[in-house]
Homo-oligomer: A and B are copies of this chain.
Amino acid sequence: MAKPLNIGMIGYGFMGRAHTNAYKRVADFFDLEYRPVLKAVCARSADKAKEFAAKWGYESVETDWKKLVERKDIDAIDICTPNNTHSEIALAAAAAGKMILCEKPLAMNGPEGLKMVEAVEKAKVPNMVWYNYRRVPAVTFAKQLIDEGRLGRIFHYRAKFLQDWTISADLPQGGTALWRLDVAAAGSGVSGDLLAHCIDTAIWLNGPLADLNAMTETFIKERKHNLTGKVEKVGIDDACAFMGHFKNGSLATFESTRYARGHKALYTFEINGEHASIFWDLHDLHRLQYFDHRDQGSLRGWRSIHVTDGDHPYMGKWWVPGLQIGYEHSFVHQVADFLEGLTTGKPAQPDFRNAYQTQLVLDAILDSAKSQKWVTVAAG
């Protein structure tokens, strides 16, 4: 019988649902030593917390996260609140000896992230950041192909994360649903929200970045603020692009925006190696495009691999070839890997220290965009 791992979730929004779903499903598909138990959910509003608990099956509710963190019956704290709250909660949870699963990005900035890293390392608590896209089977498969050396020397890594949901100037900023547009809560705009995903994947697949040069833009300069009711200056970046170098000598070209009409969540990356190239697209996340120069010349072409076979990463746990899985499964996989890490002692990645690397790149991006200069990415 699996051992229970009692989860205390803070926050109940989009990510709260995605994580909770993952906790509930993982044992149906993965055979693991630990089984998550939905012990408690915490929200400032008791009504909201109770509603969420009833819907998803949490055993109890809290309205003060500090109480949750102190509860003896909680093994792991899941932080799904806005970015500006991650640090305080994580420091407290670490001090209380809890495992921590923190929504991305880790922190508001590098220094804040470093304190969090030091806290969990000092407390020796298992910790992880929800950069879920590493666990999309096609992306994990890309990692395998790279680790097998199939691509050879890497020349280019390019990534984009394009959305179009904030184009209307009538959209307000701030508050529960729109805190991502409020710089006080989010810390940054698309760089921390979208580009952070691209950077995490890139570091995982291609190693650390050495330096970069970034540009940010805020297309809509003022928006009504939901908390103050007043029109206020927009502090976030609506778009962000950077170019730079990876330490392995390959070139980086990255871009993210919420002003690309026609794209809902178009996270794509392409890696060009000496021997082979890889392309992936979140809008068709169950496919990997692969080109291998070692194929016979006249028969070379980009292969559209439907990553649904039993020998593709994670897919043996699900259905049969040809039947695709979706977005939410990446969270299930991440929980599975986290739980397996508890058993094996090899922590699932990215842990806080690993995710801190992305924070340093984000700092470099914002520094460069402000100074208009090339910036060396700090070593993590």
Which residue numbers of A lie inside 8 Å of B, CB to CB? 14, 18, 20-21, 24-25, 27-28, 55-57, 141, 145, 155-156, 158, 162-165, 167, 213, 215, 217, 219, 239, 241-244, 251, 253, 255, 257, 259-266, 270, 272-277, 282-288, 290-293, 295, 297-306, 308-309, 311-312, 318-329, 372-374
Contact = CB atoms under 8 A, between A and B. Distances in A.
A219 B300 CA distance: 24
Contacts of A257: 155-156, 251, 272
A336 to B, nearest CB: 14
A44 to B, nearest CB: 23
Contacts of A286: 324, 326
Given A266-B322, A282-B322, A322-B283, A241 B261 contact: no
Contact of A21 (B28, B55, B275, B301): B28
A76 to B, nearest CB: 20
A274 B255 contact: no
Contacts of A24: 24-25, 28
Contact of A275 (B260, B261, B292, B303): B261
Given A297-B311, A304-B304, A253 B275 contact: no
A21 B253 CA distance: 38
Given A14-B319, A262-B293, 17 more contacts: A145-B299, A213-B372, A215-B244, A241-B253, A261-B276, A262-B302, A265-B321, A265-B323, A283-B324, A290-B299, A298-B305, A298-B309, A300-B305, A301-B305, A319-B328, A323-B326, A325-B326
A378 B152 CA distance: 40
Q: What's the dominant secondary structure at chain A's contact region?
A: mixed
A316 to B, nearest CB: 11
Given A25-B25, A241-B251, A372-B374, A325 B327 contact: yes
13 contacts: A14-B319, A21-B25, A155-B259, A241-B253, A259-B272, A261-B273, A262-B293, A263-B322, A264-B323, A290-B301, A298-B309, A324-B327, A325-B326
A320 B163 CA distance: 12
A255 to B, nearest CB: 5
Nearest to A27: B55
B328 A328 contact: no
Given A28-B56, A261-B277, A293-B261, A217 B251 contact: yes
Contacts of A253: 241, 253, 255
A27 B379 CA distance: 47
A157 to B, nearest CB: 11
B284 A284 contact: yes
A287 B373 CA distance: 39
A212 to B, nearest CB: 10
B306 A299 contact: no
Among A14, A264, A293, A322, max chain B CB count under 10 A is at A322
A243 B251 CA distance: 14
Contacts of A290: 299, 301
Contacts of A242: 243
Nearest to A267: B322
A320 B282 CA distance: 13
Contacts of A285: 324
A270 to B, nearest CB: 8
A145 B301 CA distance: 15
Nearest to A327: B323
B306 A304 contact: no
